Amino acid sequence: MSKQAESPDLLGVRCSPLVGTPLTVAQADGLATVFKALADPVRLRLFSLVASHDGGEACVCDISADFDVSQPTISHHLKVLKEAGLLISERRATWVYYRVTPGALEALSTVLVARDIRVEVSA
């Protein structure tokens, strides 16, 4: 057992590991791409707008008005989110509609949400 796992923190609380197993190199590489895509404030807002839009999809014409950047810049950010596997798109006539990729939020939540956290308070 490591020194860190053996010793309580300053409050006298011992915590179990947050995850059952560490990420593999391939998992870390894939997740890093996703987190890099979401690290830009415009892309994070775009992703949020698409995810929260009525019907689960948004036309680029519906969401681009919320930003002080050009339409080509919005298209670039949406392309980055799509390449990261966060969005899927469908062209309908002259407009492109975006949806969150099924399973994308669940995949992120497996990393962001700790499972089976047990806290032991020392006497």
Q: Answer whether residue 14 is part of any domain.
A: no
Q: Which helix (H) or strand (E) holds 6?
A: helix 3-6
The whole domain housing 48 covers 22-118
- What DSSP string runs through 26-88? HHHHHHHHHHHHHTSHHHHHHHHHHHHSGGGEEEHHHHGGGSSS-HHHHHHHHHHHHHTTSEE
Indicate the average pLDDT of the chain.
81
Structurally, how many domains does the chain consist of? Answer: 1
- pTM equals 0.73
Q: How confident is the model at residue 35 (pLDDT cuts 50, 70, 90)?
A: very high
Among residues 19, 79, 1, the alpha carbon closest in space to that of 47 is found at 79
Q: Answer whether residue 2 is part of any domain.
A: no
Q: Answer whether residue 6 is part of any domain.
A: no
Q: How confident is the model at residue 91 (pLDDT cuts 50, 70, 90)?
A: very high
Q: Answer whether residue 75 is part of any domain.
A: yes
Distance from C-alpha of 93 to C-alpha of 78, rounded to nearest angstrom = 18
Q: Answer whether residue 99 is part of any domain.
A: yes
Distance from C-alpha of 69 to C-alpha of 41, rounded to nearest angstrom = 12
User: 77-90 pLDDT, tens per residue?
Assistant: 999 999 999 999 99
Distance from C-alpha of 111 to C-alpha of 123, rounded to nearest angstrom = 32
Q: Answer whether residue 104 is part of any domain.
A: yes
pLDDT computed for residue 14 by the predictor: 56
CATH of residue 68's domain is: 1.10.10.10
Q: Answer whether residue 42 is part of any domain.
A: yes
Q: How confident is the model at residue 11 (pLDDT cuts 50, 70, 90)?
A: low
User: 41-77 pLDDT, tens per residue?
Assistant: 999 999 999 999 988 899 988 888 889 999 899 999 9
Q: Answer whether residue 58 is part of any domain.
A: yes
Q: How confident is the model at residue 104 (pLDDT cuts 50, 70, 90)?
A: confident
pLDDT computed for residue 28 by the predictor: 86
